[in-house]
Amino acid sequence: MSTTNESYDTKVTQIEHITGLDESLHPKTDKDRTVKPRDYIFMWMGDGVNIGNMTLGASVIVAGVATLNVFQTMLAALISIAIISTIFALNDRLGYTKGIPYVVQLRMSFGTKGTVISSLLRGIPAIVWYGIQSWIGGTALNEIAKIVTDGSFDNIFVCFVVLQLIQIVISLYGFHAIKWVETFASIVFMIGLIYVFGLLVSNYSTEIAHTWVKAEGSWGLPFFGLIMVFLGNYAGIFVSAADYSRELKTGISNKKRGLLYFTPITLAYGFVIVIGAMLASATGVTNPAMALPIVIDNPYISVAVSAFIVLTVIATNMVANVVPPAYVITLLTKLKYKVSAIITGLLALCAFPWLLVQESSAAGLNLFVLIYSAFLGPVISILLVEYYILRKQKVNTTDLYNEEGPYAGYNPAGLIAMLIGAAAAFVEVELAWIIGVVVAGVAYYLLSKYAFKGSSFKKGTIFEK
């Protein structure tokens, strides 16, 4: 073992002695990291190829009328994907180099107690998304049950609860238990999407052209608003990039890790958004689990597609919507990870997702994404300003775990900057994410420089005296 690894392992041992946090939140050592680059790509493909993202694509169709045309939709998606990949690559670095999770990363900007507030802003949307994905998966499971029972069973809520209980059991096996699910789901569902794309082009080209392709659309607020929705959809994921990069094998350059995000997100997210808009144009239904059986008028293929939907819902939830909130609950309650995972699943049952994803419009889902991204935009901005500008990528990991160290209590600069950014974002909700990012980043820099003299949070920054 190299001297570097010995030093790192020694530091991890020191942290284990000074922190009261559950071991699941301790830094990952080299031997703990088992996710290979190939697995990482499939993981993000599996996350991108999901029905929730397809629903966002369908959101450009409102009551059968397109707010954006095909070119505007695809350009908005490409702009979003480029920004998403860049922020992922920037924010994953601390987790990758130090092996720490997001809830610990937050301490350098918000403090050990202030992290409670900022971590909930990540955990709550993830739990709601958990419920949304499971509701869509329950809808697909219900389609299977209707076909198999020849229509004698038809109860989406029961299927929703059953699927949620299955996911709770799977989540108990942790992050690595679903790697094979991600790989299988991403490959199979991409094949299924190509098949659906062929059906839509061959059978519904007239409807799609009339409703979406030839629509006048808008280059104004609806266009930029859609970019914000797409970014908001990933806001909760890339803000907690450390939760994923800490699982990735060491020795991968920053540039290569950037490609590990850009490639699968472009392939999966971009394609799924287009399919969602085409489905809604063809059927007038924005819930893809209901729209797909209309397009696929074959009970056997419908069963297969619905099964794939259920599979990808499980895969997406295990990666994006279980791990981050479970870590948050573990941090706040000191419970073990498995108990926190169970609580996460039960809370998702109470998210009322059927109110956000309705048959004729996904407007409720869009509004939800925009509202929580108004807070998460400021958080990601503060973290990046902290790490790259104030600390020049130099962070003492041991201090982050020391409850009585320089990050003890609250960092007023971080909390005030977050609130200023969120307040500014709500001035124009459709552009919430970008407004929050810019305003909070500037506010945090200025507050860190000029306010709260003598604050321990200035230690190790460019403003330390």
CATH code for the domain of 310: 1.10.4160.10
Domain-embedded: residue 427: no
Instruction: Enumerate residues 6+ apart whose C-beta is below 8 A from 273.
Output: 53, 54, 56, 57, 73, 77, 230
Residue 462 domain-assigned (yes or no):
no
Q: At 438, list the tokens.
A: 């810019």
Contact between residue 163 and residue 141 where contact means Cβ atoms under 8 Å apart:
yes
How far the first Cα of the chain sits from its last, in Å, is 38
Q: Give the up-direction half-sphere exposure of residue 203: CA atoms within 13 A in the CB hemisphere.
A: 13
| 39 lies in some domain | yes
Q: Which amino acid is at 120?
A: L
Q: Which domain holds residue 342?
A: 33-362
| Amino acid at position 261, single letter | Y
| Residue of 142, 285, 267 whose CA lies nearest to 193 | 267
Write down the residue that tokens 């995972």 correspond to.
Answer: 341
Distance of CA 409 to the CA centre of its chain: 28
Half-sphere exposure of 279 (CA within 13 A, CB side): 34
Q: What confidence score (pLDDT) does residue 383 get?
A: 96
Contacts of residue 299, defined as CB under 8 A and 6 or more positions apart, other chains included, come to 147
**In the prediction, which pLDDT does 363 show?**
55
439: tokens are: 């305003």
DSSP-based three-state secondary structure for 66:
strand
3-state secondary structure of 61: strand
Q: Which of 235, 130, 172 is nearest to 24 (CA)?
A: 172
Q: Is 276 helix (H, G, I), strand (E, B) or coil?
A: helix
**Type and span of the H or E element at 135:** helix 115-148
Task: Output phi, psi for 45, to 5 deg.
Answer: -70, -45
Query: Token pair 């299924």 is at which residue?
Result: 192
pLDDT tens, residue order, the chain (465 aa):
344 454 555 566 567 656 677 788 889 888 888 888 988 888 888 778 777 788 888 888 776 778 888 899 999 989 998 999 999 999 999 999 999 999 999 999 999 999 988 888 888 888 888 988 888 889 889 989 998 898 899 999 999 999 999 999 988 876 666 566 667 767 777 787 888 899 999 999 998 998 898 888 888 888 888 888 888 778 888 889 999 999 899 999 988 999 999 998 888 888 888 998 999 898 888 778 778 878 887 777 778 778 877 887 887 788 788 888 998 999 888 888 889 999 999 999 887 766 655 544 455 566 676 677 788 889 999 999 999 999 999 999 989 998 888 999 999 999 999 999 999 998 887 788 889 999 999 999 999 999 998 899 999 999 987
Classify residue 55: in a domain, yes or no.
yes
Residue 19, in any domain of the structure: no
Q: Which residue's structure tokens are 């006048």?
A: 216
DSSP state letters, 303-337: HHHHHHHHHHHHHHIIIIIIHHHHHHHHHHH---H
Q: Total structural domains in the chain?
A: 1
What's the 3-state SS for 165-203? HHHHHHHCCCHHHHHHHHHHHHHHHHHHHHHHHHHHHHH
Which of 347, 364, 357, 338 lies closest to 164 in space, CA to CA? 347
Joined tokens for residue 56? 């966002």
What pLDDT does 228 receive?
84
What is the structure's pLDDT at 360?
46
Half-sphere exposure of 182 (CA within 13 A, CB side): 24
Q: What count of other Cβ atoms lies within 10 Å of the Cβ of residue 149?
A: 10
What is the structure's pLDDT at 45?
A: 84
C-alpha span between 336 and 170 (Å, rounded): 16
Q: Confirm whether 216 is domain-assigned.
A: yes
Element (H, E) at 65: strand 65-66
445 within some domain: no
**Whether 345 contacts 339, CB under 8 Å:** no
Instruction: Please report whether residue 182 resides in a domain.
Output: yes
